[in-house]
């Protein structure tokens, strides 16, 4: 049997192993295909993205964008800082790398210098005298009066502003704050756009002075609004100041406002101050732009272009710049104005936010639509460690850097088509795995069944040979007796009548026993071959039982048994096989006899129980253990004690009884307790037709 099991299991295991290894090879092949595919699509994606960016760059650097910025066009200085397409900060340099655009406004306040022909005027004489009195003689009252006359003596606003400033200064020195307040108020309101002799615009200067004067008059709160306005105008670039002057006033105004607004103050003012601070200052950005150009871009550009003049390289390129910890990318190109026979250098600083958040998604979306290649752009240091599942970088995604554009980003490339392929492969693998598992399972199950059948077959074979041994023994005993007494009767003529009749009796009894046994064997073989048929006739079961019992009573009583007969009167007529029922009773009685060595009471009952009639045989013999109760009805089965005692049973009796009971549509039940006896009940149904006849 083991050999058989191995014969089935070994091939199964081999098949399992083979398919498993085929499996993993297939998976590996898939992985390789997918990977190489991914490389190819990655290259394609990188190429098309970068060419889209190149196109974008080329558009911005096209000469048309710069013609209006060049000095050739009129009013270029009023056109403000150029911003091509409103997104990128563009610049234009001339052949000597001077900045043409954005226009320089720094330290260049209109009319901040003395105008032509001022020196010989009466104003100038008065103004110089006033300054002398103020600075040298410290006679502030006289100087203040003189400044006033001075202001009235000229129609030129800028000069009036100079004189008014002098008067204000002197009044402050005299602690005449109310008068000074009025003077600076006039400067703030009417001369804001003019600058003083060192280029500080009165719009800023007067606002700060007014605040300081107002402190003396204890009404500074009312003067915060002009300060906020001044700050806003400063940040918006109302005065084209140098970054030093810009920084000075921005700091001055902010420190006043911060300290005044720190603890409460007017919520309205606070709100407007915060609103101003939140937006980046356009003028500051412009200043920084110029600073980046002057400090970081132009020196490198000069070097590069000087170098490329000698090689034949195209005079364009890209330049990474880090300014104030901010990464920037500059693209530049050489433009030639053929008409004017001049050379310019045009360029722009990439708006990285715009590229990252708008332009690249646009490009990658288009790419995904046309090719199915999924490209995501992530920051250089990003490891994709995030809770957001849509942003997790898949393990087998391809990560590429930009080749031509030194952006601080990477591409992450996945292929939806490949994802599909992968899930198809996975499905395939699962399907094969399940199939394999089912096959193995079935094989194992088959092996199990076969093994069980084999062991059962072996057991039956063993039982059969035991049966043959038993039955020959059983047959031999009566035959020996019959032969012995037959010979005695033949040879001994002098026997007494009594002995003679005893011998006849024994011969008759033993032949009956023999025929009973042979009947059992025949019945059994008919049952086994499925040919046992019942000759069912309607009749009186009680009478049939009584008759059988009568014929067997002698036998029982001779062995010392007392038969208690309890047959109910008035049982309905039933359909049954007379011979078979007799065989049932005789088998039960012979078992009762065989297994009751001491107490020799036997009960035979026939009674109605609901829709059935029950034939019961009870003894007070050795009983049957619980574990064997199920098995005694199996063919050839004999309990262990019985088999050991070698009482010579065939193990067929109960099998035949069960078969007969079932043949009548009934069943057999047994109740037994070791040492106390057994009770077998054959339960036969009373069919309704019989009920009707009754």
| Residue from the set 42, 642, 666, 684 that interacts with ligand ADP by CB under 6 A | 642
Residues 664-693 that bind ligand ADP (CB under 6 A): 678
Q: Give the CA distances from residue 641 to residues 53, 350, 464, 589, in Å, rounded to whole numbers and listed in that order.
A: 100, 104, 19, 19
Could you say whether residue 556 binds ligand ADP (CB under 6 A)? Answer: no
Query: Closest distance between ligand ADP and the C-beta of residue 454, in Å?
Result: 25
Segment lying near ligand ADP (by CB under 6 A), choices 265-273, 479-487, 533-541, 618-626 = 618-626
- Cα 688 from Cα 254, distance rounded (Å): 115
| Residue from the set 192, 639, 684, 686 that interacts with ligand ADP by CB under 6 A | 639
C-beta closer to ligand ADP: residue 376 or 658 = 658
Segment lying near ligand ADP (by CB under 6 A), choices 254-262, 491-499, 527-535, 652-660 = 652-660
Could you say whether residue 523 binds ligand ADP (CB under 6 A)? Answer: no
- Cα 615 from Cα 667, distance rounded (Å): 11
Segment lying near ligand ADP (by CB under 6 A), choices 297-305, 433-441, 458-466, 622-630 = 622-630
- Cα 655 from Cα 667, distance rounded (Å): 12
C-beta closer to ligand ADP: residue 143 or 471 = 471
Query: Closest distance between ligand ADP and the C-beta of residue 458, in Å?
Result: 20
Query: Closest distance between ligand ADP and the C-beta of residue 520, in Å?
Result: 8
Could you say whether residue 347 binds ligand ADP (CB under 6 A)? Answer: no
Query: Closest distance between ligand ADP and the C-beta of residue 621, in Å?
Result: 5
| Residue from the set 471, 482, 652, 668 that interacts with ligand ADP by CB under 6 A | 652
CB neighbours of residue 104 within 10 Å: 13
Nearest to 83, CA basis, from 283, 348, 279: 348
Which residue's C-beta sits nearest to ligand ADP? 649
Query: Closest distance between ligand ADP and the C-beta of residue 518, in Å?
Result: 13
From its phi and psi, is residue 312 left (phi > 0), alpha (psi between -120 and 50) or beta? Answer: alpha
Please answer whether residues 598 and 622 qualify as being in contact, where contact means their C-beta atoms are separated by less than 8 angstroms.
Answer: no
- Cα 41 from Cα 379, distance rounded (Å): 21
C-beta closer to ligand ADP: residue 222 or 472 = 472
The label of the residue with tokens 């019959």 reads 482
Query: Closest distance between ligand ADP and the C-beta of residue 514, in Å?
Result: 15
> Per-residue string for binding with ligand ADP, 562-601, x by CB under 6 A?
-----------------------------xx--x------
| Residue from the set 147, 649, 664, 683 that interacts with ligand ADP by CB under 6 A | 649
Query: Closest distance between ligand ADP and the C-beta of residue 657, in Å?
Result: 8
C-beta closer to ligand ADP: residue 653 or 666 = 653
- Cα 571 from Cα 691, distance rounded (Å): 10
Contacts of residue 106, Cβ cutoff 8 Å, sequence gap at least 6: 240, 241, 242, 243, 287, 290
CA angle 28, 32, 35 (to 5 degrees): 135
Query: Which pair of tokens denotes residue 227?
Result: 């300060």
Query: Closest distance between ligand ADP and the C-beta of residue 588, in Å?
Result: 7
CB neighbours of residue 73 within 10 Å: 11
Could you say whether residue 38 binds ligand ADP (CB under 6 A)? Answer: no
Any long-range contacts for 266-269 (C-beta under 8 Å, 24+ apart)? 266/221, 266/224, 269/224, 269/225, 269/228
| Residue from the set 621, 660, 664, 684 that interacts with ligand ADP by CB under 6 A | 621
| Residue from the set 333, 364, 650, 681 that interacts with ligand ADP by CB under 6 A | 650
Query: Closest distance between ligand ADP and the C-beta of residue 619, in Å?
Result: 5
Could you say whether residue 619 binds ligand ADP (CB under 6 A)? Answer: yes
The label of the residue with tokens 């910890």 reads 325
Segment lying near ligand ADP (by CB under 6 A), choices 122-130, 134-142, 313-321, 647-655 = 647-655
Q: Classify strands 574-576 and 601-609 as parallel, antiparallel or unpaired.
A: unpaired
Query: Closest distance between ligand ADP and the C-beta of residue 643, in Å?
Result: 7
> Per-residue string for binding with ligand ADP, 298-317, x by CB under 6 A?
--------------------
C-beta closer to ligand ADP: residue 331 or 650 = 650
DSSP 315: S
Question: 248, exposed or middle or buried, with CB in 10 Å at 0-12, 13-18, 19+?
Answer: middle
Q: Is the peptide bond before 102 cis (omega within 30 degrees of 0)?
A: yes
Query: Closest distance between ligand ADP and the C-beta of residue 629, in Å?
Result: 9
Query: Closest distance between ligand ADP and the C-beta of residue 653, in Å?
Result: 3
Segment lying near ligand ADP (by CB under 6 A), choices 191-199, 227-235, 443-451, 615-623 = 615-623
- Cα 309 from Cα 125, distance rounded (Å): 58
Segment lying near ligand ADP (by CB under 6 A), choices 46-54, 133-141, 202-210, 632-640 = 632-640
Query: Which pair of tokens denotes residue 167?
Result: 């008067």
CA 329 to chain centre: 39
Total number of residues that touch ligand ADP (CB under 6 A):
21
C-beta closer to ligand ADP: residue 240 or 651 = 651
Please answer whether residues 229 and 249 qualify as being in contact, where contact means their C-beta atoms are separated by less than 8 angstroms.
Answer: no
User: H or E stretch including 523?
Assistant: helix 497-528
Buried b (16+ CB within 10 A) or exposed e, 39-60: eebbeebbebbbebbeebbeeb
Query: Closest distance between ligand ADP and the C-beta of residue 664, in Å?
Result: 19
- Cα 366 from Cα 453, distance rounded (Å): 69
- Cα 210 from Cα 191, distance rounded (Å): 14
- Cα 293 from Cα 271, distance rounded (Å): 35
C-beta closer to ligand ADP: residue 289 or 637 = 637
Query: Closest distance between ligand ADP and the C-beta of residue 612, in Å?
Result: 22
Query: Closest distance between ligand ADP and the C-beta of residue 509, in Å?
Result: 18
The site for ligand ADP (CB under 6 A) is made up of 591-592, 595, 619, 621-624, 632, 637-639, 642, 649-655, 678
């Amino acid at each position: 049997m083991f050999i058989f099991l191995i014969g089935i299991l070994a091939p199964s295991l081999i098949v399992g192993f083979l398919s498993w290894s085929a499996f993993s090879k297939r998976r590996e092949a898939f992985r390789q295909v997918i990977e190489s595919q991914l490389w190819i699509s990655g290259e394609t994606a990188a190429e098309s993205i970068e060419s889209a960016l190149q196109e974008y760059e080329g558009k911005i650097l096209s000469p048309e964008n710069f013609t209006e910025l060049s000095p050739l066009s009129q009013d270029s200085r009023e056109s403000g800082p150029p911003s091509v397409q409103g997104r990128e900060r563009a610049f234009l340099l001339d052949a000597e790398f001077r900045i043409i655009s954005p226009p320089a406004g720094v330290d260049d306040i209109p009319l901040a210098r003395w105008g032509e022909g001022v020196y010989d005027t009466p104003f100038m004489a008065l103004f110089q005298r006033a300054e002398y009195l103020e600075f040298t003689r410290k006679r502030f009252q006289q100087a203040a009066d003189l400044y006033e006359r001075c202001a009235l003596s000229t129609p030129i606003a800028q000069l009036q502003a100079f004189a008014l400033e002098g008067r204000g200064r002197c009044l402050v020195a005299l602690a005449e704050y109310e008068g000074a307040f009025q003077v600076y108020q006039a400067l703030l309101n009417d001369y804001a756009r003019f600058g003083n002799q060192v280029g500080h615009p009165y719009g800023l200067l007067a606002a700060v002075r007014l605040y300081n004067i107002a402190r003396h008059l204890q009404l500074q709160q009312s003067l915060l609004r002009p300060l906020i306005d001044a700050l806003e105008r400063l940040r918006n670039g109302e005065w084209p100041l140098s970054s030093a002057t810009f920084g000075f006033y921005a700091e001055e105004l902010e420190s006043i406002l911060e300290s005044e607004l720190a603890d409460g103050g007017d919520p309205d003012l606070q709100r407007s101050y915060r609103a101003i601070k939140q937006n980046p200052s356009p003028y500051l950005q412009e200043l920084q732009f110029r600073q980046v150009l002057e400090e970081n871009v132009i020196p490198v550009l000069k070097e590069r272009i000087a170098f490329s003049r000698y090689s034949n390289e195209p005079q364009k390129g890209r330049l990474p710049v880090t300014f104030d910890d901010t990464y920037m990318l500059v693209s530049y190109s050489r433009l030639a104005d053929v008409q004017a026979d001049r050379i310019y250098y045009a360029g722009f600083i990439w708006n990285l936010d715009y590229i990252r958040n708008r332009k690249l998604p646009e490009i990658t979306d288009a790419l995904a639509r046309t090719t199915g290649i999924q490209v995501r752009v992530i920051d250089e240091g990003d490891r994709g460690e995030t809770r957001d599942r849509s942003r997790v970088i898949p393990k087998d995604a391809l990560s590429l850097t930009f080749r031509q554009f030194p952006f601080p980003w990477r591409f992450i490339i996945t292929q939806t088509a490949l994802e599909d392929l992968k899930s198809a492969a996975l499905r395939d693998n699962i399907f094969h795995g399940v199939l394999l598992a089912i096959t193995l399972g079935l094989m194992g199950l088959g092996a199990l069944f076969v093994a069980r059948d084999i062991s059962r077959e072996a057991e039956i074979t063993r039982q059969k040979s035991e049966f043959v041994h038993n039955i020959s023994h059983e047959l031999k005993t009566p035959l020996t007796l019959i032969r012995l007494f037959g010979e005695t009767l033949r040879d001994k003529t002098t026997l007494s009548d009594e002995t003679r009749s005893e011998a006849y009796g024994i011969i008759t009894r033993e032949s009956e026993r023999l025929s009973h046994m042979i009947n059992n064997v025949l019945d059994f073989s008919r049952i086994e071959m499925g040919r046992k048929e019942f000759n069912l006739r309607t009749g009186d079961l009680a009478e049939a039982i009584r008759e059988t019992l009568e014929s067997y009573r002698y036998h029982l009583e001779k062995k010392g048994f007392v038969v208690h007969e309890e047959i109910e009167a008035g049982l309905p007529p039933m359909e049954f096989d007379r011979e078979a029922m007799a065989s049932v009773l005789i088998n039960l009685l012979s078992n009762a006899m065989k297994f009751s060595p001491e107490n020799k009471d036997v009960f035979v009952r026939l009674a109605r129980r609901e829709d059935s009639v029950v034939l019961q045989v009870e003894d007070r013999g050795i009983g049957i253990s619980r574990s064997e109760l199920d098995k005694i009805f199996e063919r050839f089965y004999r309990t262990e004690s019985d088999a050991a005692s070698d009482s010579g049973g065939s193990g067929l009796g109960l099998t035949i009884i069960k078969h007969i009971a079932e043949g009548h549509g009934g069943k057999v039940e047994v109740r037994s307790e070791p040492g106390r006896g057994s009770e077998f009940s054959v339960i036969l149904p009373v069919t309704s037709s019989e009920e009707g006849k009754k």
